[in-house]
Copies of this chain bind each other. A is one copy, B any other.
Amino acid sequence: MARQQVQLKAESMADAAYRAIRQKILDNVWAPGYQALEQALALELGMSRTPVREAGIRLANEGLVEVVPRHGIRVLPVSPSDMREIYEILSSLESTAAELVAKARPSAAELEPLEKASRDMEKALKRDDLDAWAQADERFHRQLMQMCGNAKLAAIVFNFWDRSHRARMLTLRLRPRPENSTREHLAIVQAIRRGDATAAGARFRAHRERASRELIELLQRHRMNQV
């Protein structure tokens, strides 16, 4: 068997710019609405305008920024209405993914990562460690997407997670303890284990719809109209 070549070619400056800018947005270092000129970014990143422009085009396609002709690259804010749209998409696609996973009848070994993530959520909740909880939650969802056998679907879901990342992080400590979420995950895993695709899909959909309602309500209650 041929050994896998790991050819990790040095990433291009354009990729570096893309990653750097994306990270600043996700980490909320650049607040929504923040604008930066191409030249300024180039200077800051130690490169010319060309790769910065290319990164901007990619980020604009992914819906994280907007390129405003004379005002540079602008971090797009996310409104409650955007959140509604995003969660409609996530409900739809993630519940489909859950159905696909259930239909594939995964083995106990294949299900283990999902169960471990669920257990970690419970443990984190007992310790009142919300960051660990959020991490385990993300691991659960990511794992499920990777198991669904549809890479294009997973890519869309990851993109919309990115777009809604800031809002989730901001509301993490404003919402009640996520006991429901944790319970719902267990129910989803059970449905998948039974191979009950309909139930798995329905439960996932309910899970995301509840999360969406709570999140949007929180944003509005706290007057966070542009996150």
Evaluate contact between A88 and B156: CB separation under 8 angstroms: no
> Is A93's beta carbon under 8 Å from chain B?
yes
With a cutoff of 8 Å between Cβ atoms, the chain B residues found around residue A150 in the complex are 85, 88-89
**Residues A61 and B63 in contact in the complex (CB < 8 Å), given A89-B150, A156-B89:** no
Evaluate contact between B89 and A93: CB separation under 8 angstroms: yes
Which segment of A52-60, A118-126, A168-176 sits at the interface?
A52-60
**Residues A153 and B85 in contact in the complex (CB < 8 Å), given A62-B61, A93-B93:** yes
Copies of this chain present: 2
Evaluate contact between A100 and B88: CB separation under 8 angstroms: yes
Evaluate contact between B93 and A63: CB separation under 8 angstroms: no
With a cutoff of 8 Å between Cβ atoms, the chain B residues found around residue A63 in the complex are 152
With a cutoff of 8 Å between Cβ atoms, the chain B residues found around residue A93 in the complex are 89, 92-93
Interface residues of A in 138-180 (CB under 8 A from B): 150-153, 156, 160
Interface centre among A61, A82, A86, by most B CB within 10 Å? A61
Number of interface residues of A (CB under 8 A): 24
> Is A212's beta carbon under 8 Å from chain B?
no
With a cutoff of 8 Å between Cβ atoms, the chain B residues found around residue A57 in the complex are 54, 57-58
With a cutoff of 8 Å between Cβ atoms, the chain B residues found around residue A58 in the complex are 57, 61
> Is A182's beta carbon under 8 Å from chain B?
no
Evaluate contact between A96 and B88: CB separation under 8 angstroms: yes
Closest to A82 in B: B152
**Residues A89 and B53 in contact in the complex (CB < 8 Å), given A61-B58, A61-B61:** no
Interface residues of A in 62-82 (CB under 8 A from B): 62-63, 82
With a cutoff of 8 Å between Cβ atoms, the chain B residues found around residue A100 in the complex are 88
The 4 closest A-B pairs by CB, nearest first: A92-B96, A61-B61, A85-B150, A85-B152
A sample of 8 cross-chain residue pairs with beta-carbon separation below 8 angstroms, ordered by A number, consists of A57-B57, A58-B61, A61-B61, A89-B150, A89-B156, A91-B96, A92-B96, A93-B93
Apart from A89-B156, A92-B92, A152-B160: 11 A-B pairs, beta carbons within 8 A: A53-B54, A54-B54, A54-B57, A61-B61, A85-B150, A85-B151, A88-B150, A89-B96, A89-B150, A91-B96, A92-B96
